[in-house]
Structure 1
């Protein structure tokens, strides 16, 4: 393997990005006294006590369940709504689709108003409900994901849809039988983006999900640090349990993620 000078900046950036994760992981196995003496080194005595204590005190069993429910439903709704919208704007000749596409483009640069969302959640009795977080998350991710899916669908030959129409296939059946399988890489990218955003979302969840039985992992960790902020070992263990599912997702889905971006990045 030949040495390439262009790898040096990438190596420096990688070390800079991974070093906090390294400290978090190492300190999770240390006792409180050892962290204060040796915060940057390897543990002298590896201990798993921090994880069991953090799991119990942070109520992570309930937090994981709530996060899985919110994340799975958000990914499902985003794929359905954004997929159908992208399909309609790509293949169906609907009046005003061009103006709507321009509106979506402008809306991507506009900040999502938290105060209106919070008061609407109160009016609709969505406080302390999963849907109180799911609905704004789906709406906030709508424009970007529609553009991403539409960019991929522009590369699908329209002759396939014409052939399906001649065979008597309905519009929705054509979407399920032809568009959905061919656009699978793009939907995988959308699902990964949505999963990362939903799992790491903390600001809206902290405001909407106020009951202890409704906390997500991010909110549980935020409250955990405020309650047990002096014990850095528990904080590190809680941080590891919060981020490890997304690390596993990234490592297992990297190839499909890059492939989907390459396939869908040809046209916009």
Structure 2
């Protein structure tokens, strides 16, 4: 290997190591704070394992707070949003990819335009709609909002991936006697597995991490999701940093597990879905 190529590779590794450090360092600080005793929370020590480290904050979080209830609430909402998002995006994306109908271009343009506006901008009109439907302070209300805000990206992602699958596969299935629905879910859906994974992951993340909508819609403490519940550890006069840090780490575990399990689908799902528009 010549010197120029070696230097190029070393510089690439150095840049990657730098960005990896930038990404990991905040996590190590949170881990350290979560294990600090109460009298050392404001310590400036950079040691990863603090002096007198203990798991007391985790014990208190799991046994003396409503963390497990918030966890169950978040899982329920996120799973429902994921199932709904995958079902709607997979069928809507297929229709936009395979069929030519009046209003198709307008629908595609509308999907792109909606991506220009943040969900917080839509919060007021959505809140008014939920009031009129009687869905304030209910899981159904936030499921509707989460699904609506996640669908534009998911539909476009699925549509782009379907465009990469030859239509001749469906035609062959139809010749063999399959109905349009059978050709879709027996031939096309299995091939679209990477895009379905991206859609499921994005839908799950949209619901799992969201705070603003849940804080506005959910008013009963028994219905709080994890982001809203953890915010309760922060007060105007004092903040329970140990519990806050411990909760933040535990909240990240399901997301990390999902990424690890689904990682082999992520690259192909994101790249192939962007080949055609």
TM-score, length basis structure 2 = 0.89
* Between 221-230 and 159-168, the greater mean CA deviation after superposition: 221-230
Between the aligned partners of 2:99 and 2:179, the Cα distance in structure 1 is 12
Indicate which of 201, 211, 216 corresponds to 1:202.
Answer: 211
Between the aligned partners of 2:67 and 2:182, the Cα distance in structure 1 is 41
Per the alignment, in what secondary structure is the counterpart of residue 142 of structure 2?
A: helix
Indicate which of 187, 191, 195 corresponds to 1:182.
Answer: 191
Indicate which of 55, 62, 85 corresponds to 2:62.
Answer: 55
1:11 has 2:17 as partner: yes
Q: Return the offset for 1:220.
A: 0.7
TM-score, length basis structure 1 = 0.92
Q: Return the offset for 1:265.
A: 2.8
The structure-2 alpha-carbon separation of the partners of 1:177 and 1:92, relative to structure 1 and needing over 3 Å to count, comes to same
1:19-76 Cα deviation digits (max 9, x unpaired): 1111001111111112333553222233111012123444011111111111011011
1:92 has 2:117 as partner: no
Indicate which of 156, 160, 169 corresponds to 1:151.
Answer: 160
Matches within 5 A, 1:10-49: 10-41=16-47, 42-49=49-56
- The CA RMSD over aligned residues, in Å, is 2.0
The structure-2 alpha-carbon separation of the partners of 1:221 and 1:39, relative to structure 1 and needing over 3 Å to count, comes to farther
Between the aligned partners of 2:105 and 2:43, the Cα distance in structure 1 is 62
Counterpart contact for 2:81–2:203, Cα < 8 Å: yes
Q: Which residue in 2 is equivalent to 1:64?
A: 71
Unaligned stretches of 5+ in structure 2?
none
1:75 has 2:74 as partner: no
Report the count of equivalent residues.
Answer: 268
Unaligned stretches of 5+ in structure 1?
none
The structure-2 alpha-carbon separation of the partners of 1:122 and 1:244, relative to structure 1 and needing over 3 Å to count, comes to same
Counterpart contact for 2:233–2:239, Cα < 8 Å: no
Per the alignment, in what secondary structure is the counterpart of residue 41 of structure 2?
A: helix
1:106 has 2:96 as partner: no
1:214 has 2:223 as partner: yes
